[in-house]
Structure 1
Amino acid sequence: MKKVVIIGGGLAGLSAAVTLAYQGLDVQLFEKNEHFGGKLMPVQLGDYTFDFGPNTITMPYVFQQVIEQTGERAEDYFELIKLPAHTRNVFSDGTELIFSSDQQQMVAQLERLDPSGARRYPAFIKEITRLYNLSQQYFLPRTFRSWRDYLSPSLGAALLQVRPWQTLDDFFRSYFSNPKVMEAYNRYATYIGSSPYQAPATFAMIAYLEMVEGVYYVKGGNTKIAEAFTTVAKKWGAHLHNHTMVKKILVSKQRATAVELANGERIEADYIIMNADLLTAYPELVSEEVRPAFPNKKVEQLEPSISAFVILAGVNKRFPQLMHHNVYFSSDYKQEFIDLFNRQTYSEQPTIYICNSSYTDVTRSPNGDNLFILVNAPALPSTRQLQIDPQAYKEKIYASLAAQGIDLAPHLVEEQIFTPATIAETFGAFRGALYGLSANRKKSAFLRPQNKSKDIANLYFVGGSTHPGGGSPMVTISGQNVAASIIETI
């Protein structure tokens, strides 16, 4: 029986573990944290429960398929709830735009805010559907194992059809004229940790996922997906170890032979899958001399995605103006990205995202709202200094929300802050980045690190820092792709 070691128990690693165990391989997965699921981490503060992230679930069939390939029913493990009107966008002047997968509802709002955008909306939906279909056919299912995989004529033809030379901002500008509507759609760039003024229009496919297929929530918390993967992987014989740190990957004659745990134990393997952040873990776990194609200086030259400043706030009241997902936009959205990427500083007027899952599922916090509050933050500088006073920045965010009628201070019961430094430490994230590399540069957008080491024959990579990218569906797909690739070699 072939032995597979998986380093890291995020959704990508768990996804691969399910598939490989079901196919009869001996799977050993090692996770340094207590929980499995990576950034999809449950947090309990008193009577308030939170998902650290991701809060928005799209492409539900991706998660269902991981379970259903084994002959079981996904609905026996988690219940998906569709949110037809899913995001309340609030602009600095109080104008609102509620995102929905109901196209009639969207057109009705646009007729008031952006009449020309309302007329173009059917064409917009048609184009983002085309972009998604191309991605689904040519990019998402592929495992990029060497540079030759990028030379496929069909892939090259598809690449030219997904607007690689146009920015997201330019793309949305061709359909909408109201600056506020533009801001709402430009926010999709942050889903890949990038700037809409630099990232390619290809990623408008994200709009398709929310505006056509829709946004979902898992009853009891999105972490139920990770719990389901964990249960099914164990059911098929995978051995999952939490609180277990991998210290080193042992390499001989360009093959990984084993991993060494922090306690000195060696676990032999025929294949090793790294679900830990590639940009952090590869240099830490593998000696530089045996990975000449990925030297330390290469990592230093890469641009990380944005990070996040997060507040988990449990309050003793329900705020009626808050939906499940809410975005309060700054008065100068473009300046925010200049601050984040050009100046690498925190914005003085940040856009604020709030997830209030108790809006949909009151059991998450029976005595008031459970507010996951996030603002975009720059990745940590190479010195890894914090850059700000977290308490002072928290108060700035609270003051901005109070000005919008969301006065939290008198109602706070529980509170916890996560900074980019916290994210780097907890998840091993490269400089605290949420999505690995940014997609601001064309090379990073389309030529992400491959799913297989160029130097070590049996070492594979999954997760947000490799193909096809960040976000819960994408990392799950990466785990499935690599598992299938390994099975092909047996």
Structure 2
Amino acid sequence: VTLAKNGVDVRLFEQNDHFGGKMMPVNEQGYHFDFGPNTITMPDVFREVVRIGGLDPDEELPFIKLDHHTRNQFKDGTVFDFSTDREFMREQLSHLDPKVCKKYDLFLNEIERLFNLSEKHFLHRTFSGWSDYLSLSLAKSMAKVRPLQSMDHFFKQYFSNPHILQALNRYSTYVGSSPYQTPATFAMIAHLELNEGVYYVRGGNTRIADSFVKAAEKQGAFLSKNTKVTKILTDGKRATGVELDNGDVAEADHIIVNGDLLKAVPELLPDVKRPHLSDKKLQSFDPSISAYVIMAGLDTNLEQLHHHHVLFSNNYQKEFVQLKAGDYAEQPTIYIGTSSKTDPELSPEGDNCFILVNAPALNEGQFDLQIYKELIYDHLAEAGIPIRKHLNVEKVLGPEQIETKFGAYRGSLYGPSSNSRFQAFMRPFNQSQDVDHLYFCGGSTHPGGGSPMVVLSGQNVANKILGKIVQIE
């Protein structure tokens, strides 16, 4: 959208039959599911793209703010709801964690500070090489965002109730990582949900992708579905075009790879042409977690379910140890997104439950997804959520399907994990160090995973090509 708006001849090739990557609609027998993302923050990021594309953001993207947005449920019957309503949050804290209730405003101020620093110095940058890290302002700001502290340790400075800590620690999974290893910088995600708010687009969050397609085509971009790129063509060290699976060649002055570069780069360029992103280098990255997904259409509406509902395990730390070891958690934390609670027209026959469990990135072992499904249904039934009894429609996807469908390295959702400071802050660059005029955007590069970050990544690369990146000091 950004490039086409500025007069660039843009051609986009997508291997799937939909645009938007993991922002994929799934429609089964009258039930609509958003494969992802179910939780939307930073709505202005999406609205701005639509505005640049010459469309009315209010008409294209009717965002609904969910004030009490996430029900956190625990094995002992404790319930704790996340909300942007500070008084509502203090009331809950007064019962669950009374000693720290007075610290809540200090906590909100600190996570806002972390976000503001990140937005000013990091989110709107592209990184083309190590020299881009030598900015004095960037170094100073990096030192101020708690890079040496873990997310779990940071939250423990403010809260003591284990259930509240567990609910907050789940924010690390938004970047596919462990709260016990992820830098505290990413606690800024809590700011987006607890200060700014969680949103939903009426008609389904996948309307965001639909509106981007409409905006791009309005600005003259050519978009082609069901068209797989098989090779990046080069002349010496310069990218010159791409070869498609039908044998056609599309010449280009600039090429942007918007996909998981850990998988896309070795498929599109031979190892000899990319010493800075060699197979050995790419395989050294620790991938983010994957997902095990059940899309369940029910024959009824379960009153106990909320739009965003999380059923936590008893031992969160053990869960991440098992995932790190390449194993599925014996007692997983289960997320259920039921958008029909806010938008009943999406699923008039009953609830449209999008059930997601953290899964390890693919390894060589085999795993029975059907047995695991029954385990998840058992845990839900024990928690008073009888999904199995009310099934009308069921569709299951695991890491293998995610790898195939979305070109995701080992099925990981966010490219490299943020389980180390190096991978959290020094992700693969937005511009190739080996091939001129080749760029990368998306969740596997800067600024990181999550749909708002992915959009900013694309805009940053577009502005870099257009010569509009302003040095931030």
Report the TM-score range of the alignment, normalised by the length of the smaller protein: over 0.9
The residue aligned with 2:367 is 388
Instruction: Give the Cα–Cα distance (whole angstroms) in 2 for the partners of residues 429 and 70 of structure 1.
Output: 28
Distance 1:71 1:230 in 2: 12
Q: Which residue of 2 aligns with 1:361?
A: 343
Summarize the Cα distance change of 1:44–1:70 in structure 2 as closer, same or farther, 3 Å threshold.
closer
1:304 alignment counterpart: 287
Partner of 2:274: 291
- Note if contact 2:55-2:215 (Cα within 8 Å) is conserved in structure 1: no
In the aligned structure 1, how far is the partner of 2:462 from the partner of 2:70?
Answer: 35
**Could you list the runs of 5+ residues in structure 1 that have no partner in the other structure?**
1-17
Q: Distance in 2 between matches of 1:188 and 1:489?
A: 33
The alpha carbon displacement at 1:252 in A equals 1.2
Distance in 2, Cα, partners of 1:483 & 1:178: 45
Match status 1:187 vs 2:166? no
1:317: how far off? 0.7
- Tell me which residue corresponds to 1:113: 96
Q: Does 1:405 align with 2:384?
A: yes
1:69 CA drift (Å):
2.4
Give the superposition deviation at 1:70: 3.9
Could you say what secondary structure the match of 1:26 adopts? coil
After TM superposition, give the deviation of residue 76 of structure 1 in Å: 2.0
Moved over 6 A (4+): none
- The 8 Å contact of residues 53 and 216 in structure 2, kept in 1 or not, is answered as no
Of the three residues 120, 126, 138, the one matched with 1:155 is: 138
TM alignment of 1:371-450, pairs within 5 A: 371-381=353-363, 383=364, 385=365, 387-450=366-429
Give the equivalent residue in structure 2 for 1:475.
454
Paired letter, 2:432: S
In structure 1, what is the Cα distance between the partners aligned to 2:407 and 2:208? 21
Which residue matches 1:22? 5
The 2-side partners of 1:31 and 1:56 are apart by 24
Q: How many residue pairs end up in the alignment?
A: 469
Tell me, yes or no, if structure 1 residue 203 matches structure 2 residue 186: yes
Letter in 1 for 2:245: A
For normalisation by structure 2, the TM-score amounts to 0.98
Task: Specify the SS of the correspondent of 1:293.
Answer: helix
Equivalent in the alignment of 1:485 = 464
Residue 348 (1) aligns with residue 348 (2): no
On the 8 A contact 2:14/2:225 being kept in 1, the answer is: yes
Q: After superposition, what is the alpha-carbon deviation per residue over 1:160-179, rounded to whole angstroms, capped at 9, x for unaligned? A: 00000000000000000001
What's the CA shift string for 1:296-319, capped at 9, x where partnerless?
A: 011111100000000000001111
| Deviation, structure 1 residue 71 | 4.3
TM-score normalised by length of structure 1: 0.95
Partners of 1:249 and 1:388 lie apart in 2 by 35
Code of the residue aligned with 1:178 in structure 2: it is N
Residue 117 of structure 1: how far off its partner (Å): 2.3
1:289: how far off?
1.0
User: Does structure 1 residue 54 correspond to structure 2 residue 33?
Assistant: no
The CA deviation at 1:146 is: 1.5
Q: Name stretches of at least 5 consecutive residues in structure 2 with no aligned partner.
A: none
2:460 alignment partner, SS class: helix
2:109 maps to a residue whose letter is: K
1:239 to 194, 217, 222: 222
Q: Residue in 2 aligned with 1:177?
A: 160
Deviation string 1:459-484 (CA, Å, 9 cap, x unpaired) is: 00000000001100000000000000
- Describe the SS at the equivalent of 2:467: helix
Provide the residue aligned with 1:332 in structure 2.
Answer: 315
Greater Cα offset, 218-227 or 71-80: 71-80
2:47–2:61 CA contact under 8 A, matched in 1 = no
Percent identity (aligned): 56
